Structure 1
């Protein structure tokens, strides 16, 4: 991947304070923990680590939420994993007193074929009674719910009444401000270059602003974690996503929306603009960077008028791309870096990091505090990226280059 620079802000970032966390004049000489990455995972980990005591320094190469955390559509869906329950998110928002625009809208995913419709019905049938409600709706019920005409190729839909939306940049910025109140030092526009063995059994983090001695290091930098953790390079791969935002339109979509299992996704923001992403199948490129892919952007522009007959003319106000970090098995990696000491990773959410982000950071902080190298759950243990690896023998250091 190439360094994309900052580029123009997304709609979420443009609507926030342009630079609420300016770059520092200098870095501290040392910190108990250095967190690399200023997206939701890095900020969440820093927040929870600071609440447990000790000094925490967070490094971000650009600005907070300038990567994947600020380049999504702000759709927040609770899944079956305990980390995706929004209890922790609501508690933190209430305790810290910030408003990330978190609101219940419901979520409707439209099936583009009879086969997907049958998958929706099967998913609803096997849904545990303790999970958030999920309903299969036929095509007519979907049209009634939306109060608009839908194209005839849609076979039905999957309705999640408890679906939410959120302003992702405000979430990251609000949590970062809370982290600062607990003593976290935030260094934006400060790129981590290398992590090597340091003094007194610690680590040395070399950056564009100097070197910091660290007791432990957390890699929370999306697909960039493979630059520091080569053993994860075959397990985590970067994937590019494309998004655009329209000029404000009359109220059209109350719920968050998608087709199938997220091939296209969109929502109408509070200012009336529609933020829509996906259409990756329209791309003829496997590039994984933040450059715009014109065939995908054209597909996004054409989607809504084709899906909803009589849809009003749209004017595109902003376009952007982002890089997601997908793992080979679709589960994130949260825990100790394989074959490394004093190094931890929280990554691999594949574009679905908003719902579990707050709880995932809390889980990592607890694992670091207790020395549990497998992280908050065995299913997320980074060691699974190394076939045959045994946790009992992990000498050496990762990232010494």
Structure 2
């Protein structure tokens, strides 16, 4: 049975024990107020508490309610921007540090899972596959660059024969195999972080939507029934920022992505379509991605929309993408279909910034949220405690505002997405 207060999904129905946290009522004082209990906010709160800070964590819905509890669960190194492009924007030293931090982000997720004994179906391996021959040469060049220039060996090229043997489909032509990447049950990971944060002393408040706040001296965060007086405020809202902070709303674009979960599959079928139990993402601009759950369901993500509403039939909406690659699954029962809202930036790099002396933001992970959001929370905690060097390196990456800001970003994005969707189909 789904956990009360969450959107129905396979993740909620397979969630570990869920603590209920109170609604904020009255006045609370803390060193730091964190807004948003997704990966960013949970990581920030946990790391701050471990440093000795008192922390109040406010969540408008439930812990992990947003994209953190609904996503594909892939935990992979790297950034959406190429390292060469990053060098051109911020210089070699900072670009190299950002690359290393992407590696560290995956290690951080593993370390937190181990340290706090989080049960979240952690598995190893991520495979990025080409659905046409064209991207294969670029993949080979990118892998050679990582191996020879960056000295990173936990990635290799898988040729057509290997990829087709791994995935049981002739629709794939090659791939990047990230051998030290991982995948997991994202909601159980979020719930585990929350339990660890609470144990460390964090005051967690659910159903406590922030209406407004003021930073600077005498900082205060207000909800319908209470307020938090704090020395620092951390914004960890991502795709659910809304109108809370107009200065940064135009840096991100909320988009909706959708996932289905099949009935449990027999072992032979699981090994045929995903021999090595890796997480998979393809080369389309609007990507397909899939993995096997801990109980052998196929979790398949496919399709997006850019409105405030989800499709009426999410299962059918996603199923057509799955059957395009695996038509033999046409008789497999679809038990779940759900969606979530994430935030992308124009350059697909996370947006980190210090808006005021005591106001920090980390958002816009653009599909790399499990690892980089966990790291983003830790870096905000480090910045609060006076070690802002790594946070500031992310902040140096220029993040353009969407043309037209929040008013016109939607039609512009839709036009661009439709163009790339057509390219996915015909070129």
Aligned to 2:110: 90
Are 1:352 and 2:368 matched, yes or no?
yes
**When the two structures are superposed, what TM-score results if normalisation uses the length of structure 2?**
0.79
Q: 2: CA distance between counterparts of 1:295 and 1:134?
A: 38
In structure 2, what is the Cα distance between the partners aligned to 1:336 and 1:349? 17
Give the Cα separation in 1 of the matches to 2:184 and 2:129: 21
**Residue in structure 2 matched with residue 326 of structure 1 by the alignment:** 344
Q: Measure how far apart 1:84 and its partner are.
A: 2.8
Give the conservation status (yes or no) of the 8 Å contact 1:19–1:63: no
Q: Relative to 1, partners in 2 of residues 1:382 and 1:14: Cα closer, same or farther, differing over 3 Å?
A: farther
SS at structure 2 position matched to 1:64: coil
Out of 371, 377, 380, the position equivalent to 1:361 is: 377
* 2:158 corresponds to 1:137: yes
Equivalent residue number for residue 276 of structure 1: 300
The count of residues paired between Structure 1 and Structure 2 equals 368
Counterpart among 158, 162, 168 of residue 180 in structure 2: 162
**Contact 2:127-2:178 within 8 A present in 1 as well:** yes
Hey, what does 2:359 align to over in structure 1? 343
RMSD (CA atoms): 2.7
Matched residues in 2 for 1:203 and 1:248: separation? 50
Gaps of 5+ in 1: 388-401
Could you list the per-position Cα deviations for residues 261-282 of structure 1 after superposition, in whole angstroms to 9, with x for gaps in the alignment? 67100111011211111223xx
**Structure 1 range deviating more: 316-325 or 350-359:** 350-359
Rounded Cα–Cα distance in structure 1 between residues aligned with 2:394 and 2:178? 25
Match of 2:386 among 370, 374, 387: 370
Structure with the higher fraction of residues in helix conformation: 2
The answer to whether the 8 A contact 1:112-1:154 is kept is: yes
How far does residue 27 in structure 1 lie from its aligned partner after superposition? Answer: 5.0
Superimposed CA distance per residue, residues 62-113 of structure 1 (whole angstroms, 9 cap, x where no aligned partner): 1111100011111221226333333323332333233332221x22233121
Cα shift readout 1:235-282 (whole Å, capped 9, x = no counterpart): 1111111111111112322211121167100111011211111223xx
> Within 1, Cα distance between the matches of 2:184 and 2:375?
16
CA distance in 1 between counterparts of 2:153 and 2:244 reads 38
CA-to-aligned-CA distance 1:181-207 (integer Å, 9 cap, x gap): 221000011111100258xx2212110
For the residue of structure 1 that corresponds to 2:61, the secondary structure is: coil
Deviates more, 1:168-177 or 1:5-14: 5-14
Change (3 A) 1:163 1:56: same
Shift of 1:376: 1.6
Alignment partner, residue 227 of structure 1: 243
TM-score, normalising length: structure 1? 0.83
Task: After TM superposition, list the pairs within 5 Å mapping 1:257-272 onto structure 2.
Answer: 257-260=280-283, 263-272=287-296
Aligned mates of 2:379, 2:24 — CA distance in 1:
32
2:68 paired residue number: 69
Where do 4+ consecutive residues of structure 1 move more than 6 Å? none
Task: Give the Cα–Cα distance (whole angstroms) in 1 for the partners of residues 113 and 313 of structure 2.
Answer: 39
